[in-house]
Amino acid sequence: MSETRLGAQTIRFGRPPRVLGCAGVVGKKEGEGPLGGSFDVVETDAFCGEKTWEKAESRLLRTALAHAVEKAGRPLAEIDVLFAGDLLDQCIGTSFGLRDTGRPLLGLYAACATMAEGLVLAAAAVSAGYARTAAAMSSSHFCAAERQYRLPLEYGGQRAPTAQWTVTGAGALVLGAGASGPSLTHAAVGRIVDAGVKDPAHMGAAMAPAVHDTLRAFFAESGTAPGDYDLIATGDLGAPGSELLHDLFARDGVTLSGRHVDCGTLIYDVSAQDVHAGGSGAGCGAAVLCGHLMRGLQKGKWRRLLFCGTGALLSPVSSAQGESIPAVCHVVAFLA
């Protein structure tokens, strides 16, 4: 069966690739959260044995890939292509993290939607026969993100109630032909949506309209509705962003209740761990997908899962220049 365009944004894969292996790797705080037991590795040192936080992020990504490849039961040399990106300026988490892999690499930037974009492209590459196996991955690190996007950690600035906490973590997922395991059946590619939100401490509000835009297109083009999925997981809307998403769908007469979860609110005990609106970061959705969500699919807890990567495409420079926050959301559908 060949690749099918179901509409302007949605694709049905002709030969849906299987999840051959995946791994989520996180830091200490994430390991202490409600999903702690679902990750493959919990690092207890913020530096992961490296000299800087940026190098630590590279280490997280490398570790996630190593574990995903091991669980896929094949050597790294048999992974045909890597799709990866992160939040650091010039994506150095990725470039230095994957420098020694010797594998063909296509670098991505979609902020916290990078894992979903990687899965779209990895699945497309395998289904069309460009690659036999392909890996998608992404990472973030709280300390590296804080000093790049916000303030030096030493400053100890107050955080707004709508602010999110960047997850220290990475996820990697290997797709290929296989006899069993969840398959990636559909993808929807997002377009940029800018609702005019200008507050970088309220990114959930900037991203919710993008999620609404892509999911609405996906449901219409695939002829499905939220009720057809056991779980609809967004990457990092946080609590207020999730509420806005529900409101946007409610205006369409569609309810997400009982189906929607957000990786950013799942990964922490939001009140006990003092993370305000929840987790965020390119590693948030990636680690939760490759840990908690994939385990649930593999164990039969859920059968049909939508994973919605959510990216806020701002930079400190764009915000300083008075710009609003463009956002994007890419969606992939898994079938257990």
Residues binding its own copies (CB under 8 A) = 2-5, 8-9, 11, 51-52, 54-55, 80-81, 85, 87-92, 94-96, 98-111, 117, 120-121, 124-125, 127-132, 148, 189-192, 194, 313-318, 321, 323, 326, 328, 330
To its own copies, the closest distance from the beta carbon of 15 in angstroms equals: 11
- For its own copies, the closer of residues 133 and 242 by Cβ is 133
To its own copies, the closest distance from the beta carbon of 25 in angstroms equals: 21
- For its own copies, the closer of residues 102 and 253 by Cβ is 102
Instruction: Say how far apart CA 166 and CA 218 lie, in whole Å.
Output: 28
Angle between helices 238-251 and 203-222 (to 10 degrees): 40
Instruction: Say how far apart CA 319 and CA 317 lie, in whole Å.
Output: 5
To its own copies, the closest distance from the beta carbon of 67 in angstroms equals: 20
To its own copies, the closest distance from the beta carbon of 313 in angstroms equals: 4
- For its own copies, the closer of residues 33 and 190 by Cβ is 190
To its own copies, the closest distance from the beta carbon of 271 in angstroms equals: 30
Instruction: Say how far apart CA 161 and CA 268 lie, in whole Å.
Output: 15
Assess contact for 7 and 220: CB atoms under 8 A: yes
- For its own copies, the closer of residues 293 and 314 by Cβ is 314
Q: Which tokens is 228 given? A: 């057809």
To its own copies, the closest distance from the beta carbon of 124 in angstroms equals: 6
- For its own copies, the closer of residues 187 and 266 by Cβ is 187
Place of tokens 């302007």: 8
- For its own copies, the closer of residues 69 and 91 by Cβ is 91
Instruction: Say how far apart CA 57 and CA 85 lie, in whole Å.
Output: 12
- For its own copies, the closer of residues 2 and 158 by Cβ is 2
Instruction: Say how far apart CA 280 and CA 314 lie, in whole Å.
Output: 14
To its own copies, the closest distance from the beta carbon of 216 in angstroms equals: 14
Cβ neighbours for 175, distance < 8 A, ≥ 6 positions apart: 17, 18, 19, 20, 119, 122, 123, 126, 133, 134, 135, 136, 184
- For its own copies, the closer of residues 130 and 151 by Cβ is 130
Cβ neighbours for 62, distance < 8 A, ≥ 6 positions apart: 97, 98
- For its own copies, the closer of residues 87 and 270 by Cβ is 87
Cβ neighbours for 176, distance < 8 A, ≥ 6 positions apart: 17, 18, 20, 72, 126, 132, 133, 134
Report phi then psi at 227, rounded to 5.
-65, -15
To its own copies, the closest distance from the beta carbon of 302 in angstroms equals: 27
Instruction: Say how far apart CA 294 and CA 131 lie, in whole Å.
Output: 22
To its own copies, the closest distance from the beta carbon of 63 in angstroms equals: 18
Length of the chain counted residue by residue: 336
Tell me the C-alpha to C-alpha distance, in Å, between residue 225 and each of 113, 218, 228, 256, 265: 22, 9, 6, 9, 23
